[in-house]
């Protein structure tokens, strides 16, 4: 009967038992997944409150407009950075740990490795949003060129991370038997939206609302996946 939860592979339990280093590592990986996702959810909220002009890729009509919007958004940009940097690291570690499971499909393994890469890309993005862009935006006219270059890199990495996150979501949602009930659908939706928004941004057609929505949906699905995994492996 489908209980709506992740279940341990029977062959895995037969080989290792119900309480082994393998199952303990899996439990810990899902705990990290949940913690990292919750931290990044705070980051997503902070990005939304900072506003698209100051803090979202392709959210400003010009570099000058983005710089002008930064002083009023700097508090939320710093919060996005402070919560996002450790959250991204935790998600990357969780992805690497979950990719090591041997009793899963190649699609799930690829999805977890992709998540680790996404975490590393957004580690740079979230570092830039609070630690690099605000000082350059608040600088004098001599900092304008440096801000323009940093903002271009920020936008490109944000779109790349969104696209990679979409691929990760699609891979994780690929195999029905390996995903928690309900959360897999949300993961798949985030994957489709992420691929579209990320690709559009990389090609110069930035969609800041779709980009932010895709990342938020992915993180929500990861939080649910982590919680379901904790309940299944306990």
What is residue 102's predicted lDDT score, i.e. its pLDDT? Answer: 84
Which of 43-52, 111-120, 182-191 bottoms out in mean pLDDT, i.e. has the lowest?
Answer: 182-191
CA distances 83 to 46, 86, 123, 168, Å, are: 9, 6, 10, 22
Residue 18 has pLDDT above 80, yes or no: no
What is residue 113's predicted lDDT score, i.e. its pLDDT? Answer: 98
Are the C-beta atoms of residues 137 and 71 closer than 8 Å to each other?
A: yes
Residue 15 has pLDDT above 80, yes or no: no
**Rounded CA gap, 201 and 223, in Å?**
26
Residues in the chain: 234
* pTM of the predicted model as reported, rounded to 2 decimal places: 0.89
What is residue 205's predicted lDDT score, i.e. its pLDDT? Answer: 93
What is residue 181's predicted lDDT score, i.e. its pLDDT? Answer: 66
Residue 219 has pLDDT above 90, yes or no: yes
pLDDT-derived band at 104 (thresholds 50, 70, 90) equals confident
Q: How many CA atoms lie within 13 A of 19 on its CB side?
A: 1
pLDDT-derived band at 4 (thresholds 50, 70, 90) equals very low
**Rounded CA gap, 67 and 73, in Å?**
10
């Amino acid at each position: 009967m489908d209980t709506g939860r992740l279940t341990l592979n029977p062959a895995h339990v037969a080989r290792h038992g119900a309480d082994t280093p393998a199952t303990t590592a899996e439990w810990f990986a899902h705990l990290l997944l949940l913690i990292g996702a919750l931290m990044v959810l705070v980051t997503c909220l902070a990005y939304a409150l900072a506003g698209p002009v100051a803090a979202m890729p392709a959210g400003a009509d010009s570099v000058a407009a983005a710089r002008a919007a930064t002083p009023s958004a700097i508090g939320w940009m710093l919060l996005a950075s402070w919560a996002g940097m450790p959250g991204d690291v935790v998600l990357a570690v969780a992805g690497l740990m979950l990719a090591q499971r041997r009793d899963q499909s190649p699609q799930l393994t690829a999805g977890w490795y992709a998540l680790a890469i996404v975490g590393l890309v957004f580690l740079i993005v979230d570092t830039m949003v609070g630690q690099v862009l605000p000082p350059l935006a608040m600088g004098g006219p001599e900092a304008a060129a440096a801000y323009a270059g940093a903002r271009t890199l920020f936008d490109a990495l944000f779109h790349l991370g969104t696209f990679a996150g979409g691929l990760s979501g699609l891979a994780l949602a690929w195999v029905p038997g390996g995903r928690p009930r309900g959360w897999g659908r949300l993961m798949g939706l985030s994957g489709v939206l992420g691929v579209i928004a990320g690709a559009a941004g990389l090609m110069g057609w930035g969609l800041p609302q779709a980009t932010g929505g895709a990342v938020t949906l992915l993180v929500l699905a990861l939080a649910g996946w982590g919680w379901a995994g904790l309940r299944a492996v306990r």
